[in-house]
Amino acid sequence: MPGPSTSTSRRWWTLATVSLTQLLMVLDGTIVNVALPSAQADLGFTDASRQWVVTAYALAFGSFLLLGGRVADFVGRKRVFLAGLAVFAIGSAWGGLTHSGAELLAARGLQGLAAAFMAPAALAFVTLTFPDGNERNKAFAIFGSLAGAGSAIGMLLGGVLTEFFSWRWCLLVNVPFAIAGLVAGFVLLPESRAQGDRRYDIAGALTATLGFGALVYGLTLAEQSWTSVWTVGSIVLGLVLIAGFVVIEGRVAHPLLPLRILTHRTRAASFTVQALLGVVGVGAMVYLALHLQLVLKLPPLLAGLGTLPFTLSLMTAVPFAIRLIDRFGPRRQMIFGPLISAIGVFLLSRITVGGDYWTQVLPGVVLMGLGMGFTVVPLNNLALAGIDPHDAGVASATATATNQLGGSIGLAALTALYVAVAGKAGEGVAAMVAGYSAVFTAGAVVFVAAAVTAALLLKPSREAVAEVGEPVAPVLG
């Protein structure tokens, strides 16, 4: 953590650097959503492969985050952050220049892998640079709101680039920003690493990565059949490996994910809400983009602009959310934030074949954004308050991993739901609308579950963060 000699301006420039790269990672999860129809027509891949353009990124991102967090802790957070950013640029360039669907999926996976090593280091820098007080709340509000708005910003930018240039620029645009981030990171970021033993938990890394990969793959296969041997086998294998990971982490001397990070109920609440927000955040945005283009027949630019109210309402909520944390603590907005979003997604579920954007889409998008604005501000602060610097990277990784894995698992499950409902509804636009409505209804239920989780696990006091404890200084250099 920067010491007393670190200037205030340098701290905020550090925050700007890691926040903008975090925005880059988040928006890359959705920037291709609006571009998918164009990319599919250009490269000729199937509808099943279309989903994997999104899932490959989210799955690689989420599955390797815990390992990325530990590598950042042990090797050095600045080194890992810069190396990940360089690989991210390479994957973006590869994806933008590819000429086959298989290569595009591989490039998206490489982007996700690189992001898995960047993200924990980025969040750890915020945690360690702003250890406590009002500045910490503001820093996490900025970091969280950019991350929360990233999905909608990605869709808007994807629409602009696809409409006026090519879907390929949805990936190529990352390269100059990554280069700028490399320069700023090299100049501004201090090196830090964990104290003490730095041995890796190989068994934990393998079971976690393979377990989540098998689970998401099985849920993806469920689009065709829930009862096939491959679907059931993959899901069961994933659950067994994840259970094995938990057992391993409780027994090994140097776990990849120390269970002490999960056992405090405030952190458990935060991680659970992160996962649930990921389910809706990724899935709802994918199907919103498809509805805008395939049902309302909007061109890519207008489809991207159609999601802009989400970002605007989220950013509008952030200043009020900061004041509410200072006055009432995080619990209240962790409850009413998801409930507001639930109302918004439920309104989206009322879409009809003959409906329009202004009456059936806009109100829901605005409410979803407002609720997310109140929710994301306290979320990372709760997840990382009081974390020992030895665990800063892996705790940051856990916070991000739960969101990304929630997104990849949620997208697979919601796609299976869409296929089942649309298949029963027949063919054509009416079937698509029925499927989208079912997805949005499920999203509203998930947001309600997030509010219930916060109500049950968070203590009703503004001291909830302080009760976790304050962090101590890490080793720099």
Adjacent-strand bridge partners of 193: 475
Model confidence pLDDT, tens digit, residues 370-407 = 998 888 877 766 776 666 666 666 666 677 778 777 87
The runs of H, that is alpha helices, within 44-132 are 47-63, 65-75, 77-97, 101-129
Is the pLDDT assigned to residue 96 strictly greater than 60? yes
SS3 state of residue 324 = helix
CA dihedral 341, 345, 347, 348 (to 10 degrees): 150
Is the pLDDT assigned to residue 287 strictly greater than 50? yes
Model confidence pLDDT, tens digit, residues 33-77 = 777 777 877 787 766 667 777 778 877 877 787 777 777 777 778
Dump the DSSP string for 441-462: HHHHHHHHHHHHHHHHHS-SST
Q: How confident is the model at residue 195 (pLDDT cuts 50, 70, 90)?
A: low
In this prediction, residue 467 carries a pLDDT of 47
Cα(400)–Cα(121) distance, integer angstroms? 11
pTM comes to 0.74
Average pLDDT over residues 432-457: 93
And the tokens for 219? 């849920």
Q: Are 451 and 338 in contact (CB under 8 A)?
A: yes
Cα(388)–Cα(267) distance, integer angstroms? 14
Q: How confident is the model at residue 172 (pLDDT cuts 50, 70, 90)?
A: confident
Q: How confident is the model at residue 3 (pLDDT cuts 50, 70, 90)?
A: very low
- What value, to the nearest 5°, has the Cα angle with vertex 88 and ends 242 and 205? 20
Model confidence pLDDT, tens digit, residues 127-163 = 667 666 666 667 766 666 666 566 667 777 777 888 8
And the tokens for 262? 């999960």
Model confidence pLDDT, tens digit, residues 198-241 = 667 788 888 988 888 888 778 777 767 778 898 889 889 989 99
Measured between its terminal Cα atoms, the distance across the chain in Å is 10
Higher pLDDT, 9 or 262: 262
**Residue 3, Cβ neighbours under 10 Å: how many?**
8
In this prediction, residue 18 carries a pLDDT of 76
* Dihedral sign, Cα of residue 437, residue 283, residue 170, residue 310: positive
C-alpha distances in Å from residue 216, one per residue of 198, 236, 423: 30, 11, 22
Question: Which range has the top average pLDDT, 150-154, 192-196, 243-247, 301-305?
Answer: 243-247
In this prediction, residue 2 carries a pLDDT of 42
Higher pLDDT, 234 or 27: 234
And the tokens for 34? 């609006």
In this prediction, residue 180 carries a pLDDT of 84
139 sits in which H/E element: helix 133-164
Adjacent-strand bridge partners of 476: 192
Cα(92)–Cα(95) distance, integer angstroms? 5
Question: Which range has the top average pLDDT, 27-36, 43-52, 440-449?
Answer: 440-449
Q: Which of 318, 35, 313, 294 is nearest to 154 (CA)?
A: 35
The runs of H, that is alpha helices, within 361-427 are 362-384, 392-425
77-97 and 8-27 are packed helices; what angle lies between their axes, rounded to 10 degrees?
Answer: 30
- Residue 64 has phi, psi (to 5 degrees) of -100, 5
**Residue 376, Cβ neighbours under 10 Å: how many?**
29
Strand 192-193, strand 475-476: pairing = antiparallel
Higher pLDDT, 238 or 264: 238
Please tell me the chain's helix, strand, coil percentages from 3-state DSSP, rounded to the nearest 5. Answer: 80, 0, 20
Percent of the chain, pLDDT > 90?
15
Average pLDDT over residues 172-200: 76
Percent of the chain, pLDDT > 70?
82
In this prediction, residue 5 carries a pLDDT of 37
Model confidence pLDDT, tens digit, residues 460-474 = 655 554 444 443 333
In this prediction, residue 476 carries a pLDDT of 31
Minimum mean pLDDT among 101-110, 126-135, 412-421: which range? 126-135
And the tokens for 337? 């934030």
In this prediction, residue 301 carries a pLDDT of 79
State the DSSP code for 191. Answer: P
pLDDT, mean over the chain = 79
In this prediction, residue 201 carries a pLDDT of 78
In this prediction, residue 132 carries a pLDDT of 62
Give burial (CB, 10 Å; 0-12/13-18/19+) of 237: middle
Is the pLDDT assigned to residue 92 strictly greater than 80? yes
